[in-house]
Amino acid sequence: MCGIVGAVSQRDITNILVKGLQRLEYRGYDSAGVCIVTDNDELERRRTVGKVKNLEKLIEAQPLSGFCGIAHTRWATHGVPSETNAHPHMCGDVALVHNGIIENYEVLRKQQLETGHQFDSDTDTEVIVHAVSDAYKKTNDLLTSVQKTVESLEGAYALGVVEKGNNDHLIAVRKGSPLVIGIGNNEHLIASDVFALLGEAEHFIYLEDGDVADITHKGVTIYDAKGRQVKRKINKTKLQVNDAGIGEYDHYMQKEIFEQAAVLKQTLEGRIANGRLLSDCFGKGAEEAFRSIEEVQIVACGTSFHAGLVAKYWFESVAGLPCHIEVASEFRYRPHIVIRKTLFVTISQSGETADTLAALQASSDIGYAHTLTICNVPESSLVRESEWALMTKAGPEIGVASTKAFTTQLTALLLLVIALGKHHKIDDKKEIEIVRQLEVLPEQVAEVLRLEPDIIEFAKQFSNKHHALFLGRGEQYPVAMEGALKLKEISYIHAEAYPAGELKHGPLALVDDQMPVVAVAPNNDLLEKLKSNLQEVQARGGELFVFADTHAIFEEVKGLKIIRVSEINEIVAPIIYTVPLQLLAYHVAVIKGTDVDQPRNLAKSVTVE
Ligand code: G6P
């Protein structure tokens, strides 16, 4: 992953770079660094381990200023988070920042060692700066040196490069990792996303794969992968800086959990009315094309993948449409057979996840009929590259552990289930029933959030545990998976989810009084079966933490603790039952004192495969 910012201007750009890095911290926070071409044309660098605020402090202590520079926030791939592995990397008269992975770095490193290079870091990046520097020594021309270097690189990457002796020159490269150019007032900027530059630029150029941009404060010249000069469209962004801060909450994650009632309402607004789905909510031509769709293929990663798993149950049981789902990193590397007219659906909070994007890019060659993304970030790569986009209106999600993005994805997916199902199993009566459930959903979520004090009591009993099991059946199985993922992401407790029926095929061997077992148990056809599975846990002295409907009957026995959720309709149950699991993970993490919003080793947007 990693985040890149750079600028060429006629004013000091140090603060702009640091501010940009802060907005890119969702891409990684293992180390941060900046390199400025100073007024006397020297390269000056500051690097720190950890978050951007450490870099800010360092710059306060050792000030830096200049008109041209590059900066980077790192999510470590090759080499531990350390100052020497932090970007920018330098060699000779060149400094460089990199996002992505150089797959052939071992070969290049070996060759460079043989020609006398010494390596300061363990990164794959360092081979790039050595290669550019070698070429630069011969040509004294940064553009051609970078162009020559990228010919030898394999992998996906974005680069920002500056040179000693020229404080009005920056080279940017995009190949497989996102990079935008912001057109400012008498200046140009680069960044991994538009958000990093909001306030400094309104107009942006999205570089295309293979592009190399030659940038000064006055102008931008772009060359494509074949070295031909090309023109790229200038887009005016509609995005606005929208960071209302943390408000009354202790963490962004808590704020985002509590925002869910409001953002679900926002996601539904203008899309349902009078008990019906409004036909135009998927964009031009979608309604017509949906008539002929016979199958759905979903591809996503992480939490978004869990949303897709729930949707598979909905597509098949409610809409009567076959639905396949696969994690993007697997999907993209195996052959597929598409027989029927299939809608290819990607789900993503960020819209930039490298594997999901690569899967989308491969989809038309494989033979999928149409593409649609369910995404939270307007103008993101997935939105730009899909035929249709159904935006979740969750607003910016800052906490690395995804919460409101997940429940809004599920809500958006239900809209898609209706839209496609109308041409299959969903009749008028069913459509009205689902829409009515969606209309009351925000209020029901608000009600579950009131259970927080009870959930804190549950959480206290997890904080000294090292493992936990999560159980569910049917569409609650992916909900259990999401609950386990939340717990491991932020509390570092090892948690696994199982379909409750699988318990006896292995995981039951782990059950003892040190293994809390969480079950999501709404009142549905599978409740009695689930209860039998829970008894198997009780009989082995396991401790059960159950979330169940108000009226569900559970025998009061030792080791069983229940939190009651108001009676709800089965269709929206996965959305409602997710919320207490988010709160459980959140409070366990708070009790354990972990970094809830930026858990160790993770990043919010995964732009490397
Ligand atoms: C990372 C994030 C997860 C997210 C996943 C997929 O792992 O930490 O929260 O679910 O990426 O991201 P996407 O933006 O595609 O939903």
Please spell the DSSP secondary structure of 29-58, one letter per residue.
Answer: -SEEEEEEE-TTS-EEEEEEES-HHHHHHH
Helix (H, G, I), strand (E, B) or coil at 352: coil
Atom 5 in ligand 1: residue holding the nearest Cα? 302
CA distance linking residue 402 with residue 34, whole number of Å = 29
CA distance linking residue 523 with residue 64, whole number of Å = 62
533 touches ligand 1 (CB under 6 Å): no
327 touches ligand 1 (CB under 6 Å): no
- Provide the token pair at 528: 């009695």
Provide the 8-state DSSP code for 316: I
Please state, in angstroms and as integers, the Cα–Cα distance from residue 463 to each residue in 105, 252, 338, 377, following that order.
42, 21, 47, 34
Map tokens 């040179």 to a residue: 163
The angle at the Cα of 238, spanning 399 to 240, to the nearest 5 degrees, equals 45
Q: Residue 275 CB: number of other CB atoms within 10 A?
A: 14
CA distance linking residue 527 with residue 505, whole number of Å = 20
In the prediction, which pLDDT does 244 show? Answer: 64
- Give backbone dihedrals phi and psi of 292, rounded to 5 degrees, phi first: -95, 0
Of ligand 1's listed atoms, the one at least distance from the Cα of 409 is 16
- Give backbone dihedrals phi and psi of 246, rounded to 5 degrees, phi first: -90, -15
350 touches ligand 1 (CB under 6 Å): yes
With contact defined as beta carbons under 8 Å apart, do 84 and 29 qualify? no
356 touches ligand 1 (CB under 6 Å): yes
Atom 4 in ligand 1: residue holding the nearest Cα? 302
Domain 247-448 class in CATH: alpha beta
348 touches ligand 1 (CB under 6 Å): yes
400 touches ligand 1 (CB under 6 Å): yes
The CATH label, of 3.50.50.60, 3.30.930.10, 3.40.50.10490, 3.40.50.300, for the domain at 451-595 is 3.40.50.10490
With contact defined as beta carbons under 8 Å apart, do 32 and 52 qualify? yes
Atom 2 in ligand 1: residue holding the nearest Cα? 604
Cis-peptide into 88, omega within 30 deg: yes
- H or E stretch covering 347: strand 342-348
Q: Is the dihedral of CA 441, 251, 609, 159 positive or negative?
A: positive
Q: Residue 582 CB: number of other CB atoms within 10 A?
A: 28
- Provide the token pair at 430: 């069913």
List, in sequence order, every beta strand (DSSP E) within 50-146: 68-74, 89-91, 94-102
With contact defined as beta carbons under 8 Å apart, do 252 and 246 qualify? yes
Q: Residue 297 CB: number of other CB atoms within 10 A?
A: 23
- H or E stretch covering 499: strand 494-499
Q: Please tell me the distance between residue 408's alpha carbon and the centre of ligand 1 in angstroms.
A: 14
Q: Residue 245 CB: number of other CB atoms within 10 A?
A: 8
Q: What is the pLDDT of residues 221-264, one digit of tens each?
A: 999 999 999 999 999 998 887 666 788 999 999 999 999 999 99
47 touches ligand 1 (CB under 6 Å): no
Q: Please tell me the distance between residue 363's alpha carbon and the centre of ligand 1 in angstroms.
A: 20
CA distance linking residue 194 with residue 330, whole number of Å = 29
pTM for the complete prediction?
Answer: 0.90
Task: Give residue 172's identity as a one-letter amino acid code.
Answer: A
In the prediction, which pLDDT does 71 show? Answer: 98
CA distance linking residue 310 with residue 410, whole number of Å = 8
- Provide the token pair at 555: 């025998």
Q: Which of 374, 410, 605 to mutate to test the pocket of ligand 1 (most atoms within 8 A of CB)?
A: 605
Q: Which of 1, 346, 353 to mutate to test the pocket of ligand 1 (most atoms within 8 A of CB)?
A: 353
Q: Which of 606, 607, 609 to mutate to test the pocket of ligand 1 (most atoms within 8 A of CB)?
A: 606
- Same topology, domains 247-448 and 451-595? Answer is yes
With contact defined as beta carbons under 8 Å apart, do 497 and 484 qualify? yes
**Rg, the chain, Cα only:** 26
Of ligand 1's listed atoms, the one at least distance from the Cα of 401 is 9
Q: What length is written for the chain?
A: 609
Q: Is the dihedral of CA 95, 193, 395, 448 positive or negative?
A: negative
CA distance linking residue 499 with residue 183, whole number of Å = 52
Number of helical (H) and strand (E) elements in the chain, helices listed first: 18, 27
Q: Which of 312, 280, 283, 268 is nearest to 408 (CA)?
A: 268
197 touches ligand 1 (CB under 6 Å): no
In the prediction, which pLDDT does 562 show? Answer: 93
408 touches ligand 1 (CB under 6 Å): no
- Provide the token pair at 248: 């009354």
301 touches ligand 1 (CB under 6 Å): yes
Bridge-partner residues for 563, per DSSP? 547
With contact defined as beta carbons under 8 Å apart, do 546 and 562 qualify? yes
Q: Please tell me the distance between residue 348's alpha carbon and the centre of ligand 1 in angstroms.
A: 7
CA distance linking residue 194 with residue 175, whole number of Å = 17
**In the chain, which residues have pLDDT < 50?**
none
604 touches ligand 1 (CB under 6 Å): yes
304 touches ligand 1 (CB under 6 Å): yes
CA distance linking residue 360 with residue 324, whole number of Å = 15
With contact defined as beta carbons under 8 Å apart, do 554 and 562 qualify? yes
Please state, in angstroms and as integers, the Cα–Cα distance from residue 78 to each residue in 6, 108, 154, following that order.
23, 15, 15
Half-sphere exposure of 465 (CA within 13 A, CB side): 24
Q: Is the dihedral of CA 581, 586, 589, 591 positive or negative?
A: negative
With contact defined as beta carbons under 8 Å apart, do 518 and 461 qualify? no
Q: Reply yes or no on whether 2 is catalytic.
A: yes
Q: Please tell me the distance between residue 325's alpha carbon and the centre of ligand 1 in angstroms.
A: 16
CA distance linking residue 22 with residue 40, whole number of Å = 28
Helix (H, G, I), strand (E, B) or coil at 490: helix
With contact defined as beta carbons under 8 Å apart, do 74 and 89 qualify? no
Q: Please tell me the distance between residue 347's alpha carbon and the centre of ligand 1 in angstroms.
A: 10
402 touches ligand 1 (CB under 6 Å): yes
Task: Give residue 339's identity as a one-letter amino acid code.
Answer: I
Task: Give residue 50's identity as a one-letter amino acid code.
Answer: G
Q: Please tell me the distance between residue 154's alpha carbon and the centre of ligand 1 in angstroms.
A: 25
Domain 3-243 class in CATH: alpha beta
Helix 573-592 vs helix 404-421: crossing angle, to nearest 10: 170
Candidate list 175, 255, 422, 604, residue with the active-site label: 604
Q: Which of 490, 454, 456 is nearest to 589 (CA)?
A: 490
Q: Please tell me the distance between residue 603's alpha carbon and the centre of ligand 1 in angstroms.
A: 8
Q: Please tell me the distance between residue 354's alpha carbon and the centre of ligand 1 in angstroms.
A: 10
In the prediction, which pLDDT does 243 show? Answer: 63
Q: Please tell me the distance between residue 457's alpha carbon and the centre of ligand 1 in angstroms.
A: 29
Task: Give residue 534's identity as a one-letter amino acid code.
Answer: L
Candidate list 2, 68, 301, 323, residue with the active-site label: 2
CA distance linking residue 255 with residue 248, whole number of Å = 8
In the prediction, which pLDDT does 555 show? Answer: 79
Domain ranges of the chain: 3-243, 247-448, 451-595
